[in-house]
Amino acid sequence: MQRITKVLAVAGAFVVFGCQGPGGSADHTSNEGKLWVHQGKAQGTTYTIKYVAHDSVPQQAIDDELERVDVEMNAWRPESALSRFNAFSRTDTVFEVRDAAHVWGVLWDISSDVHIESKGAFDVAMAPLMKLWGFRTERRDVVTQAMVDSVHAFARFRTDVVDFNEVLNDGGQKMAGHLSKGDPRVSLDFNAVAQGYTVDGLAEVLQLKGVAHAMVELGGEVKCWGNNLQGQPWRIAVDRPQAVGRSLQAVYPVENTSVCTSGNYRKTTVVNGRRISHTLDPRTGRPVEHGLLSATVVTPSAAYADAYATVCMVLGPEVGAAWIDSLQQAGKSVEALFIMSDSTDAYSFWATPNMREQLTWLSELPEVGR
């Protein structure tokens, strides 16, 4: 696979506009330099990195950053630290992760922070519940409340169930982490935050190389800073949340911030004779039942945007909008766009005022007031 190409980025819930068309070449230049594009596969999805600079960033630097997170947090990679911990069944001793790159400590702190902010609507310990409902590799035709209660008892982000402590050397430097289980069946999944965290890491790699204008995307999680080749803000298109096919709903200019979308409109399964979404509420252990199809969140950190979008999908349109308002009132830099459907499958939207003003609709939707 050619790892540095010149094509239009199409990834997950986003398309990047205003850069160049398909088949562009390296001689597209501005006073800031050429447009460089790196693309590839990572973490079970794809990534696209676009930046304007006089020289390219070594592909190895990008690969190293992707591997830094993947080797720790990829639940589908048997030798990753996360997979080995999930398979660890002892409760009388700790599981040690070297964590030389400090991935565990940072992701644990972010996950704990959002868990508290959301009053439990974000939970990285709910992997056993996802498996119970057939959202992993096994299909489940019937799930009873007794089954949910049994698994829910050890699928909670609480220190008596699962805990992490950093280990310092004599100089006070972080050198490892100790994970402990209160139940041998505990397993973790950082999928709702790790990709955003990786985007933040890739952005830091480029910035340390002196890149002043870039768009980094991994699995639909996006971070942009500076301008595109035309000297304009990067523009991100949000998908229309439809189960079949693909069309674009709106375009949003992204300046020095991150944009992440979470949705469940293409991930459903049939359990107990009913079609349910793949969004579980960690507080109840059951699939959510509301009309929110997708939540797009804008905030400086891609890791937090990733986690916040997941929280909104759990909370639903009304409670989620109120929660976003509460974050803004607490001084957080956060914007959001929700796309909903009603019982007749008619679409509508809600957005924070600043985001609403900057959206360019490609397909108009009615706005829902609060």
Tens-place pLDDT, residues 226-237:
999 999 999 998
Q: In angstroms, rounded to a whole number, what is the distance separating the alpha carbons of residues 285 and 149?
A: 8
CB 9 within 8 A of CB 46: no
Q: In angstroms, rounded to a whole number, what is the distance separating the alpha carbons of residues 80 and 97?
A: 10
pLDDT above 90 covers a percentage of the chain that reads 68
Confidence of residue 269 (pLDDT cuts 50, 70, 90): low
- The average pLDDT across 62-90 equals 95
Confidence of residue 266 (pLDDT cuts 50, 70, 90): low
Q: In angstroms, rounded to a whole number, what is the distance separating the alpha carbons of residues 346 and 350?
A: 14
Q: Kindly report the backbone phi and psi dihedral angles of residue 358, in degrees, each rounded to the nearest multiple of 5, phi listed first.
A: -95, -10
pLDDT digits (tens, 9 = 90+) for 244-257: 667 788 999 999 99
Tokens of 57: 């960033």
pLDDT digits (tens, 9 = 90+) for 347-362: 899 999 999 999 999 8
Residue 242's identity, in one-letter code, is Q
The yes-or-no verdict on residue 116 having pLDDT over 50 is: yes
Q: In angstroms, rounded to a whole number, what is the distance separating the alpha carbons of residues 303 and 73?
A: 14
The yes-or-no verdict on residue 173 having pLDDT over 90 is: no
Domain boundaries, the chain: 1-75+191-232, 76-189
pLDDT digits (tens, 9 = 90+) for 136-151: 666 778 899 999 999 9
The correct CATH number of 76-189 out of 1.10.3980, 1.20.140, 1.10.3720, 1.10.3470 is: 1.10.3980
Predicted TM-score of the model (pTM): 0.90
Task: Count how many Cα atoms sit within 13 Å of the Cα of residue 360 in the half-sphere of its side chain.
Answer: 8
Position 273 scores a pLDDT of: 64
Q: Kindly report the backbone phi and psi dihedral angles of residue 321, in degrees, each rounded to the nearest multiple of 5, phi listed first.
A: -65, -40
Confidence of residue 9 (pLDDT cuts 50, 70, 90): very low
- The average pLDDT across 52-80 equals 95
H helices of the chain, in order, are 59-73, 81-87, 103-117, 127-132, 145-152, 191-208, 302-315, 317-329, 353-358
Q: In angstroms, rounded to a whole number, what is the distance separating the alpha carbons of residues 51 and 227?
A: 9
Position 370 scores a pLDDT of: 61
Confidence of residue 49 (pLDDT cuts 50, 70, 90): very high
Q: Mean pLDDT across the chain, nearest whole number?
A: 87
Topology match between the domains 1-75+191-232 and 76-189? no
Position 30 scores a pLDDT of: 67
The yes-or-no verdict on residue 11 having pLDDT over 80 is: no
CATH, range 1-75+191-232 = 3.10.520.10
Q: In angstroms, rounded to a whole number, what is the distance separating the alpha carbons of residues 42 and 29?
A: 28
Taken in order 265, 119, 287, 125, the sign of the CA dihedral is positive
pLDDT digits (tens, 9 = 90+) for 297-320: 999 999 999 999 999 999 999 999
- The average pLDDT across 188-208 equals 97
CB 355 within 8 A of CB 295: no
Separation in Å, CA 158 to CA 74, 117, 164, 192, 221: 22, 15, 10, 18, 28
